[in-house]
Structure formats: C-alpha cells, structure tokens
Amino acid sequence: MNSETSLDSNEIGEFLQASAEQHRITGVSMAIAQGDQLVEAAAGLVNSGAGIEASPDSVFQIGSITKLLTATLVMQLIDDGLLGLGTPLSEALPELDLADSTITESVNISHLLSHTSGIEGDHFLDTGPGDDCVERFVVSCSALPQIHQPGQFFSYCNTGFILLGRIIENLRGAPWPKVLKDRIIEPLGLSAMGSEAHEAILHRAAVGHMDAPNDPAASPVVIPRWNLPRSNGPAGATPFGRARDLIPFVQAHLGAGRSPNGQQLLSKESTEAMVQQRVKLPQYSAASGWGLGWMLFDLDGGKLIGHNGATLGQTSCLRVEPESGLVMSILTTGGGSRVAPFFRQITDQIFGEYCGITTPPTVDELHTADLAQTDLKRYCGIYRRLAVEFEVAVDADHLTLVARGLKSPWNEAPEQRSVLRPVSDRAFAVDAPGPLAGSPILFEDFDPQGRPQLIGVGARLTPRVG
C-alpha cells in the first residue's frame, strides 16, 4: 500500500475482541494509525482482581520497546556532537570495568545499539530506587563475562542498553528517567506516559497477569508486583504508556525526525541511520536483521520495522510499514505463551489487509528436516551463561534440551525439558508447549569437527562450556 487507505474501526475492533478471546488474552489495548487517521480498540481486563476493564486510555508497561526510546536519546547526543557511533566504551563510559579489560576499547556505541557487543546481556540487578541506581548498576558489571567478540555475532543484550542509559546520564547531567521525560515524553505531549510506578497509578494502569499455577486452563491471576528494578529502566523495565502514545514517537521517525506537533526530535540523518541494517540474523530468527534499536523484517510483500517487549506479565508489540506510514501498537497483560501467536494473528490481519504483507511460517509450522545422516552427538553438551544453562543430549533419534535457571528470577522456575525437532541442520523447533514453544533453537559457530560452540535461545547466544 503506497497511499492512505481508510481504516475500518468497527472491523478492527471486532477482530481484536475475537482474537483476544481466542488466545485467552486477559487484557489488550491497540492503536493503529496512518497519517491523520487513528483507530483504537481494547478488550478484556487490565486488572482481573479489581475487575477493571481495558480501554484505549489504559496504560501498560511497554517493556523493551523502551530500547527505541533509549536509542533515540543516544542519537540525539550524536546530533548534538557529544558522541559518535564509533566512540569506544572506554571513552564514553570510563567508569565501566569489565572482566576483560580490552572489551571497553573494542566495543563502541554502534555495537551496543545493535546488540553485537558480546557483553553478557541478562544482568538484572536491583540497585535500589535512588537516582544513582543506573550508576550503581554499571559498577556491578565488573565481573560480567564476554559471550563472543564484539561485532562477531548478534546476541540480545539488555545490559548494553543500561550502559547506554548511563552514558546518557553522564552527558545530559540528569537521571535517565528525567532525560526521557524532558527530551521525548514532554516534547511529544505524551501526558499519560512515564517511567515511575507512582506516575502509573494516576492512570488506568494495567497490572501483570500469569497463568494460574498448576492449572493453565484456569483464569490468569494477578502478579503481586508491578515493575522490574528501576536500574534496568533504560532497557525497558519501567516505562509505561497508552497504545496511542507510541504513535507520535514513530511518526517523528517516519517524518525525518519531526513529530506531528512540529517538534524536531532527531535529525533526518539519524532517523535514516537507525533503520539501516547493521546485522543480518540467521534464518528463522525473530527478525530478519537489526538496525540501531529497530528490529527489521523482510516479509512477503514488503518490509516492516518494530520492536517487542515483555515485563512481569505484560507484553507489547510495535510494527511499522515505513512506505505507507501504517503504525500498529499493541499492549497486553496476561496470555503467557499464547501472546506470540496472538500478536502474529493481529499483524497478519492488519498488514495483510492494508499493506499486502504476509509473515512467513513460524518454525513450528516448518517441515521436519531429515538429519538421518547427521551425527546428533555433535550438538550435545552444556551451554552456559550468567543466568541460564542449557543441556543438549540425544534421546533415541532426537535431541532434547533441558533449560535451567541459575540466578533470579530464572532459578525460581523448575527446569524445563523439551524435545527438539530439526527444520535444518542448524535450526530446531520445540515440540512441546511451554515458554520455549514457538521460539527457534539455533546452533552457531561450528568448529572444524562440526560441533556448534554457541546455542541461540530467545535471541540470546549461550556458549558451550567444557
């Protein structure tokens, strides 16, 4: 679709309601926009315990969509001449002391923005509620291991965006939440958006929901905690907003940096740089590639950009078709592993109908590959990083994967055993319901003996040990 098409609000609302019921989503709010058109819809409950219904005015946590906000704050620093994409960490963040002292010299800003730094990515630490929480987090990174060499691979890295948050604080002279408010939220007029729990309760705030323990068929229950640690805010732990609040932010990026209300958020050069592909992801990955913050999708019929997010029982999905300017923002609570197929169904419907774009089959829908002539033992072993461990073994004629959490919150869940079904000699599907269902298991970096040195689960790489 190259020109505006009238959005059918009744059809969109009815489809959202039906899809939410089909996938048993507790509560959802969605906004779709193109040009001056805006359609909003909501379904379900944002708080099942209090019986509060979802509405377009409900605020949800946006999770890792926040990374686009943090990336924009970094690009503003570049526009102001305070930073460069090639600036090494040793210069941008001299107080950072990693286990490998050479890494701060070789990792630069572009590596952090594109998740190619190789720094251990799931370091979640609560350093308190004070304005020094991100600074204290940086101090805690001194023992972090390196997953791979900078620029060698893609491995989703929350840690890197918290480090970017500290760089923003140092160069702007204010805590990251204040910089976010001063330089994005207020200029765009997003009165219901924020990053603090005490701000969220002033609005119709969604709370996280999870499936009832030991009874997935029962109604989801409220999670008795609202947000993740404040220190992890720049990576997505705390920001919230209405579904429609993401629209003007995206439209600023589509409008050469200028928002619909006339604010120049970024330079045209920076918006273009952010959507240039910096890394191409392996086949069957969550996206086709990654820019500076943006996920990039090469699909049948066109291209999309966007990001996903997940916090404590809340999930988010942002998709944009840059050519036509169609933007879709979905924020949910509850649903567990059912959220991913829900998002896919909505995306297929909206961008299929209005843009002629269709998504390829998921890894679960692909035919099983014939690996009869392949020695499955080459995949076997222990793969370990800071938070999790994966054990791959052969059972009869197939591979099994056991996932174990090594630190909070992952070690609070029981270990999970999955059967792996090959779709190629490097990609496997999980043949069982559960948290890993629908997520491809990818093997990378094969040695001369044909043994993979890395396993990719949830867009994170984990190295073989021993």
Q: Which domains does the chain have, with CATH numbers?
A: 9-65+179-355 (3.40.710.10), 68-176 (3.40.710.10), 376-465 (2.40.128.50)
Please, are residues 291 and 274 in contact by the beta-carbon 8 Å criterion? Answer: yes
As given in the structure block, the two tokens for residue 451 are 């043994």
Residue 1 has a pLDDT of: 41
Rounded to whole angstroms, the Cα distance separating 107 from 110 reads: 8
Query: At 418, which amino acid appears?
Result: S
Catalytic residue among 64, 114, 316, 329: 64
> Which residues are CB-contacts of 224 (< 8 A; sequence separation ≥ 6)?
none
> Which residues are CB-contacts of 13 (< 8 A; sequence separation ≥ 6)?
39, 41
Rounded to whole angstroms, the Cα distance separating 450 from 138 reads: 38
> Which residues are CB-contacts of 207 (< 8 A; sequence separation ≥ 6)?
46, 47, 49, 222, 223, 226, 313, 333
Rounded to whole angstroms, the Cα distance separating 386 from 463 reads: 11
- Residues forming beta bridges with residue 463, ordered by sequence position: 454
Segment (H or E) for 43: strand 37-47
Write phi, then psi, for 390 (nearest 5 degrees). Answer: -120, 130
Rounded to whole angstroms, the Cα distance separating 126 from 247 reads: 31
Give the residue from 238, 210, 206 showing the smallest Cα distance to 60: 206
Q: Is 64 a catalytic residue?
A: yes
Please, are residues 30 and 346 in contact by the beta-carbon 8 Å criterion? Answer: yes
Residue 434 has a pLDDT of: 67
Other Cβ atoms less than 10 A from the Cβ of 113: the count is: 27
Residue 217 has a pLDDT of: 79
Specify the pTM: 0.96
Residue 311 has a pLDDT of: 95
Rounded to whole angstroms, the Cα distance separating 336 from 220 reads: 9
Rounded to whole angstroms, the Cα distance separating 33 from 327 reads: 5
Three-class DSSP category at 170: helix
Rounded to whole angstroms, the Cα distance separating 294 from 291 reads: 5
- Residues forming beta bridges with residue 45, ordered by sequence position: 53
> Which residues are CB-contacts of 244 (< 8 A; sequence separation ≥ 6)?
31, 33, 38, 40, 56, 329
DSSP letter assigned to residue 88: B
- What is the pLDDT tens value at each position of the chain, 466 positions in all? 445 678 999 999 999 999 999 999 999 999 999 999 999 999 999 999 999 999 999 999 999 999 999 999 999 999 999 999 999 999 999 999 998 889 999 999 999 999 999 999 999 899 999 999 999 999 999 889 899 999 999 999 999 999 999 999 999 999 999 999 999 999 999 999 999 999 999 999 999 999 888 787 788 999 999 989 999 999 999 999 999 999 999 999 999 999 999 999 999 999 999 999 999 999 999 999 999 999 999 999 999 999 999 999 999 999 999 999 999 999 999 988 899 999 999 999 999 999 999 988 888 888 999 998 899 999 999 999 998 999 999 998 999 999 999 987 777 778 889 999 999 999 999 987 666 777 899 999 999 999 999 999 999 999 999 7
Query: What's the maximum distance between 2 C-alpha atoms anywhere in the chain?
Result: 64
Please, are residues 348 and 58 in contact by the beta-carbon 8 Å criterion? Answer: no
> How much is the CA Rg of the chain, to the nearest whole Å?
21
SS (H, E, C) 189-240: CCCCCECCHHHHCCCEECCCEECCCCCCCCCCEECCCCCCCHHHHHHCCCCE
DSSP letter assigned to residue 67: H
- Tally DSSP H helices, then E strands, for the chain: 12, 22
Other Cβ atoms less than 10 A from the Cβ of 372: the count is: 7
